């Protein structure tokens, strides 16, 4: 199944289908060099968040890359401590200052957070679109009930729901719901944080195709229609993670990978744990 290097979001914006994740890229030089090297290698999509603490490093790397701002798709996420209209407005301004950018391509609610403040916080994201501070807005770590509640007050449908997705954690119900609503799925931890790259079933399938286990998992994500965000601070690994457009997995390979579901959560699980 062929996959595209870009997708069009429900906002009309184009998004590169493989992005660089910088969660747990250390603040300072590590993130700066990771983003510089990724952009040199051809990445055009970087995914950060306020809580990662590395927005300034991402911004500096984009600025120093020699690329036009419009050539790089940059996402950040509003942390749950910033919920509420006044705080959210300030936090968005602060993110843009740290990034050194007039706008982000995508601004997300990082998790469902406080249900009493969620609707007004989402309204501030909608306001950010009108002000030109965000080209697209979306959510992260939202389950179906969170999405349904949000849509009672929202005037803009989230462009994306960014959730943990890998063959080991497929969230089929959330995926189907989002796809039926025109909400794109971004896959964080598509490599299950490297915890499954030695799994014999993954190793065997990758060997059969002559690719690496990481490429196998990223390609699975792409063939599902997701937007994977593999994190790597290492240029060689970054390069192989982006080199996923020159081969295809067969339907049988995808079905084999689908069998690896085990509900693996490598970090937190707001889909399950955040109140509706």
Query: Where in the sequence numbering do the catalytic residues fall?
Result: 52
Of the candidate spans 61-69, 79-87, 144-152, 188-196, the one that interacts with ligand A2P by CB under 6 A turns out to be 188-196
Of 9, 49, 72, 192, the one binding ligand A2P (CB under 6 A) is 192
Which is nearer to ligand A2P, 74 or 218 (by Cβ)?
218
Distance between CA 78 and CA 98 in Å, rounded?
A: 13
Work out which of 142, 190, 206, 216 binds ligand A2P, going by CB under 6 A: 190
Mask of contacts with ligand A2P, 205-224, x by CB under 6 A? Answer: -------x-x----------
Q: Please, which residue, 11 or 221, has the CB nearer to ligand A2P? A: 221
Q: Does 197 bind ligand A2P (CB under 6 A)?
A: yes
Q: Are 250 and 158 in contact (CB under 8 A)?
A: no
Q: How far is the CB of 75 from ligand A2P (least distance, A)?
A: 15
Q: For residues 75 and 133, which CB has a smaller minimum distance to ligand A2P in the complex?
A: 75
Residue 138's SS3 state is strand
CA atoms within a 13 Å half-sphere pointing along the CA-CB vector of 68 = 2
Residue of 38, 62, 191, 260 interacting with ligand A2P (CB under 6 A) = 191
**Maximum Cα–Cα distance for the chain, whole Å?**
54
| Torsion angle in degrees (nearest 10) through CA of 112, 114, 120, 121 | -50
Q: State yes or no: residue 241 binds ligand A2P (CB under 6 A).
A: yes
Chosen residue from 233, 249, 257, 271 binding ligand A2P by CB under 6 A: 233
CB burial of 209-241 (b: ≥16 within 10 Å; e: otherwise) equals eebbbbbbbbbbbbbbebbbbbbbbeeebbbbb
Should residue 41 be labelled a site residue for ligand A2P when binding is judged by CB under 6 A? no
Min. distance of Cβ 146 from ligand A2P in angstroms?
22
Task: Report in angstroms the alpha-carbon separations of 192 from 111, 261, 262.
Answer: 19, 12, 12
- CB-CB contact of 125 with 154 (8 Å): no
Question: Where does this chain bind ligand A2P (CB under 6 A)?
Answer: 21, 189-194, 197, 212, 214, 230-234, 237, 240-241
């Amino acid at each position: 199944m062929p996959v595209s290097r870009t997708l069009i979001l429900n906002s009309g914006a184009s998004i590169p289908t493989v992005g660089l994740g910088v969660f747990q890229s250390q603040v300072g030089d590590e993130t700066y060099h990771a983003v510089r090297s990724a952009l040199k290698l051809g990445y055009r999509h970087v995914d950060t968040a306020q809580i990662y603490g590395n927005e300034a490093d991402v911004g500096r790397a984009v600025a120093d890359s020699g690329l036009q701002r419009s050539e790089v798709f940059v996402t950040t996420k509003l942390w749950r401590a910033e919920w509420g209209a006044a705080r959210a407005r300030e936090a968005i301004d602060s993110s843009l200052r740290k990034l050194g950018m007039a706008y982000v391509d995508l601004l997300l609610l990082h998790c469902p957070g406080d249900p009493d403040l969620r609707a007004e916080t989402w309204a501030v994201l909608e306001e950010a679109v009108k002000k030109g501070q965000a080209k697209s807005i979306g959510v992260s770590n939202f389950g179906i009930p969170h999405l349904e509640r949000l849509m009672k007050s929202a005037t803009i449908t989230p462009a994306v729901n960014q959730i943990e997705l890998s063959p080991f954690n497929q969230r089929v119900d959330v995926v189907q719901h989002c796809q039926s609503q025109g909400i794109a799925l971004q896959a964080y931890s598509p490599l299950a944080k490297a915890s499954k790259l030695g799994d014999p079933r993954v190793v065997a399938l990758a060997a059969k195709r002559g690719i690496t286990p990481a490429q196998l998992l990223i390609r699975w994500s792409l063939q599902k229609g997701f937007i994977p965000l593999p994190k790597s601070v290492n240029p060689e690994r970054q390069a192989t993670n982006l080199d996923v457009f020159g081969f295809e997995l067969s339907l049988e390979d995808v079905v084999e990978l689908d069998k690896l579901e085990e509900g693996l959560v490598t970090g937190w699980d707001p889909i399950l744990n955040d109140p509706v």
